[in-house]
């Protein structure tokens, strides 16, 4: 697919440009709204996921903020958990709270904490398929049962387990949001985000999307985004980045398979190391979430794990002893990346908040890449020898 790096598209006649604006004839008018390369990537995402509709954005955060602004407004509320991506938490607790959307926090590992929070103004339940760095896995079918009973949308951030790792529709998710910056981009060359609508929710039941349901039926959310919210907020994925993500998709399954196999092997190897106090990965039998992870993700419960050492100092020494594994944030890159979450991603949080989020001073996060497995293990082993 060529990269259409052009903002506007010309037409042969006034009648044709009128038809394109009115939507009676398909055509690209202006790249903030649609672009051939962007559309190609969106169609690929729809095909690989089996979703009804798909829309790409400039970042994962852009996809998420557009989605929430589209489905909820002042006086309405969304049920979620505090164990979510840090910027997502800030988007909810600060930016969208300021706009009048309320967020109610439950504990998704105890689903009985959800129903008492639901009232007539609740619009959705939002969760992440694997929380990071806690590595908790919500039982999606249980969440879906609660959502169905109360006619709520079930929204999932599936960044750690995008399509191929997790068939979100089969487990009752209505709308999926992915940071394609991660597994889909692959080489960490482009930011991007995607919204996938599985076509399972009756949009007439959502106050904000309902006006579009009359005309667009199951495509109402996509119409609401394309004809209003996304067009007006303007966080469009550039043609160049759409092209990079599209290239990423060509090798997606190969990379994911290798990264997940590496993660499983490294998690098991770490468990046997005398200096490691514990390893947290849903693919380990010792994980609290092993059973539900097997049901939902099979052999591919993502490529992020954490492990605990004796102290923060020991974590730093271990990280500093690595040669191959890079010290960087980001996850699901082709390259393995390591960091100490408490002193980096969570450095603005006080001790009480860290405790409530289960973020410990003794924890290291490893996002495993696609390198040769033995090279990674050798690197880890030599770092352990130095502490």
Ligand X SMILES: *Cc1c(COP(=O)(O)O)cnc(C)c1O
Please name every residue paired with 130 in a beta bridge, in sequence order, or none if there are none: 137
List the structure tokens of 150.
């109360």
Restricting to residues 130-159, which ones interact with ligand X according to CB under 6 A? 157, 159
Cα(44)–Cα(72) distance, integer angstroms:
28
Q: Which is nearer to ligand X, 182 or 224 (CB)?
A: 182
Q: Which is nearer to ligand X, 64 or 342 (CB)?
A: 64
Q: Which is nearer to ligand X, 177 or 229 (CB)?
A: 177
Are the CB atoms for 224 and 66 separated by under 8 Å?
no
The half-sphere exposure of 376 on its side-chain side, counting CA atoms within 13 A, is 26
Restricting to residues 175-204, which ones interact with ligand X according to CB under 6 A? 179, 181-182, 191, 193
Q: Which is nearer to ligand X, 181 or 262 (CB)?
A: 181
**131 Cβ contact list (under 8 Å, min separation 6):** 81, 83, 84, 137
List the structure tokens of 280.
């947290």
Among 128, 136, 176, 333, binds ligand X (CB under 6 A): 128
Collapsed DSSP state (helix, strand, coil) of residue 198: coil
DSSP H helical ranges for the chain: 14-22, 36-49, 60-71, 86-90, 97-98, 140-149, 210-216, 220-224, 230-233, 239-250, 252-271, 290-297, 312-320, 351-356, 373-385
If one asks whether residue 80 binds ligand X (CB under 6 A), the answer comes out as no
Nearest distance from C-beta of residue 133 to ligand X, angstroms? 11
Nearest distance from C-beta of residue 298 to ligand X, angstroms? 20
Q: How many residues bind ligand X (CB under 6 A)?
A: 14
Q: Which is nearer to ligand X, 35 or 59 (CB)?
A: 59
Among 65, 88, 280, 293, binds ligand X (CB under 6 A): 88
If one asks whether residue 339 binds ligand X (CB under 6 A), the answer comes out as no
Nearest distance from C-beta of residue 59 to ligand X, angstroms? 3
Nearest distance from C-beta of residue 201 to ligand X, angstroms? 21
**CA–CA distances in Å: residue 11 to residues 7, 17, 39, 208, 233:** 14, 6, 19, 34, 26
List the structure tokens of 378.
């050798």
If one asks whether residue 85 binds ligand X (CB under 6 A), the answer comes out as yes
Nearest distance from C-beta of residue 273 to ligand X, angstroms? 27
* Interface with ligand X (CB under 6 A): 59-61, 85, 88, 128, 157, 159, 179, 181-182, 191, 193, 331
């Amino acid at each position: 697919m060529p990269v259409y790096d052009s903002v506007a598209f010309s037409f042969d006649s006034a009648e044709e440009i009128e038809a394109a604006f009115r939507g009676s004839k398909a055509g690209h008018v202006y790249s903030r709204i649609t672009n051939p390369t962007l559309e190609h990537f969106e169609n690929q995402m729809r095909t690989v996921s089996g979703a009804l509709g798909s829309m790409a954005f400039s970042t994962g955060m852009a996809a998420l903020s557009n989605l929430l602004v589209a489905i909820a407004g002042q006086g309405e509320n969304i049920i979620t958990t505090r164990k979510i991506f840090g910027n997502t938490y800030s988007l909810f607790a600060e930016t969208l709270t300021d706009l009048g959307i309320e967020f109610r926090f439950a504990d998704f590992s105890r689903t009985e904490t959800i129903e008492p929070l639901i009232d007539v103004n609740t619009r959705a339940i939002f969760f992440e398929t694997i929380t990071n760095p806690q590595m908790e896995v919500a039982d999606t079918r249980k969440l879906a049962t609660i959502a169905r009973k109360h006619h709520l949308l079930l929204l999932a951030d599936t960044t750690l387990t995008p399509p191929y790792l997790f068939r979100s529709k089969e487990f009752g998710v209505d709308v999926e949001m992915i940071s394609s910056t991660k597994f889909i981009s692959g080489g960490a060359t482009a930011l991007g985000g995607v919204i996938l609508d599985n076509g399972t929710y009756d949009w007439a039941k959502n106050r904000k999307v309902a006006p579009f349901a009359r005309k667009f039926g199951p495509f109402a959310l996509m119409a609401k985004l394309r004809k209003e919210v996304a067009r007006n907020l303007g966080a469009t994925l550039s043609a160049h980045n759409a092209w990079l993500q599209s290239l990423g998709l060509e090798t997606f399954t190969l990379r994911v398979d290798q990264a997940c196999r590496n993660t499983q092997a490294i998690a098991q190897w770490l468990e046997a190391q005398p200096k490691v106090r514990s390893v947290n990965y849903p693919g380990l039998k010792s994980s609290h979430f092993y059973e539900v992870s097997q049901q939902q993700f099979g052999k591919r419960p993502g490529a992020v794990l954490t492990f605990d050492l004796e102290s923060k100092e020991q974590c730093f020494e271990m990280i500093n002893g690595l040669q191959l594994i890079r010290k960087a944030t980001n996850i699901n890159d082709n390259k393995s990346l390591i960091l100490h979450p408490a002193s980096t991603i969570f450095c603005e949080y006080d001790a009480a908040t860290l405790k409530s989020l289960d973020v410990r001073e003794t924890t290291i996060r490893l996002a495993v890449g696609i390198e040769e497995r033995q090279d990674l293990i050798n690197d880890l082993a030599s770092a352990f020898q130095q502490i």
